[in-house]
């Protein structure tokens, strides 16, 4: 019998350091990758770039600016669907992900589409690339909410971007932190402080080990972190849930999407000096 993708767990709020966040999330994404790709792969598209469960695409949003001839790095690339789309638009792209199993799916789709994306297994807090080697760094719901050391991550992004380069990323909208992760009406009742940054932690019932972690930052935290690393924010998109879009993805759904944003997309340019 296949092991369950998510062994029974208890939810807690507690501090978790970077190492434990990384170990837990790597194991979790390795366990979950097959189910994730089976469930969401068609919606993502093998050569497709959506910024989140609303289905808002980069073709509509143009968060990343001009693509032709640009060198891009995708952080938390999963199966690299977004990078493959960028390559189709004339960019070059490299993907980085923590999970080996996610990268195996990337290789599978490379073979199926004939559009290979070079990838590397690694973590967002330590990017294995030279200074100023990319015009664009981006992440669609990738690593950013899984790392404890976000300041180090933003510093790494700034280091590998050329002056004037663009950083574009999507995250769970910070206001979502206040609500239970429930796609139904119960998910509309605020039950937790927006300002409480204590991480969301799943703890394996059998072993007591941390098995999954998400870290929360307020919108103000994001502005401070980006400004503090010489970025200038040029866009904040909060895509509305489209009428008739009946997909449910975790806590995202049309029921909640009518009232409250699920995704925040930020574009920021590195100081050109």
Cβ–Cβ < 8 Å for 200, 216: yes
- Between 116 and 188, name the residue whose CB sits nearer to ligand SAM: 116
- Between 92 and 188, name the residue whose CB sits nearer to ligand SAM: 92
- Between 100 and 259, name the residue whose CB sits nearer to ligand SAM: 100
- Between 157 and 226, name the residue whose CB sits nearer to ligand SAM: 157
The nearest distance, CB 145 to ligand SAM, in angstroms, is 8
The nearest distance, CB 119 to ligand SAM, in angstroms, is 11
The nearest distance, CB 99 to ligand SAM, in angstroms, is 4
- Between 128 and 164, name the residue whose CB sits nearer to ligand SAM: 128
The nearest distance, CB 273 to ligand SAM, in angstroms, is 28
Strands 263-270 and 231-237 come out as antiparallel
The nearest distance, CB 63 to ligand SAM, in angstroms, is 13
- Between 154 and 271, name the residue whose CB sits nearer to ligand SAM: 154
Name the site residues for ligand SAM (rule: CB under 6 A): 22, 25, 29, 44, 76, 78, 82, 96-99, 102, 123-124, 140-143, 146-147
Query: What are the residues whose beta carbons fall under 8 Å from the beta carbon of 80, sequence distance 6 or more?
Result: 74, 93, 95, 106, 109, 110, 117, 119
CB atoms within 10 A of CB 83: 29
The nearest distance, CB 241 to ligand SAM, in angstroms, is 17
């Amino acid at each position: 019998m296949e092991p369950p993708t998510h062994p029974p767990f208890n939810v807690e709020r507690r501090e978790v350091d970077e190492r434990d966040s990384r170990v837990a999330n790597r194991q979790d994404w390795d366990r979950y990758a097959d189910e994730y790709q089976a469930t969401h792969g068609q919606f993502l598209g093998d050569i497709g770039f959506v910024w989140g469960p609303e289905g808002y695409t980069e073709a509509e949003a143009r968060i990343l600016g001009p693509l032709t001839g640009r060198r891009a790095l995708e952080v938390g690339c999963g199966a690299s669907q977004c990078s493959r789309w960028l390559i189709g638009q004339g960019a070059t792209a490299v993907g980085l992900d923590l999970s080996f199993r996610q990268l195996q799916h990337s290789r599978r789709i490379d073979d199926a589409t004939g559009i290979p994306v070079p990838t590397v297994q690694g973590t967002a807090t330590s990017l294995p690339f030279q200074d100023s080697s990319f015009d664009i760094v981006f992440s669609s719901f990738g690593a950013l909410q899984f790392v404890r050391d976000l300041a180090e991550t933003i510093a790494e992004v700034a280091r590998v971007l050329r002056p004037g380069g663009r950083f574009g990323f999507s995250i769970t909208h910070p206001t979502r932190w206040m609500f239970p992760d429930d796609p139904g009406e119960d998910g509309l009742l605020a039950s937790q402080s927006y300002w409480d940054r204590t991480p969301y932690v799943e703890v394996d019932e059998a072993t007591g080990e941390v098995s999954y972690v998400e870290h929360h930052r307020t919108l103000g935290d994001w502005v401070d972190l980006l400004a503090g690393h010489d970025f200038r924010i040029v866009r904040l998109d909060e895509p509305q849930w489209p009428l008739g879009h009946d997909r449910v993805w975790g806590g995202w759904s049309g029921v909640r999407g009518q009232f409250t944003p699920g995704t925040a997309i930020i574009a920021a340019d590195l100081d050109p000096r």
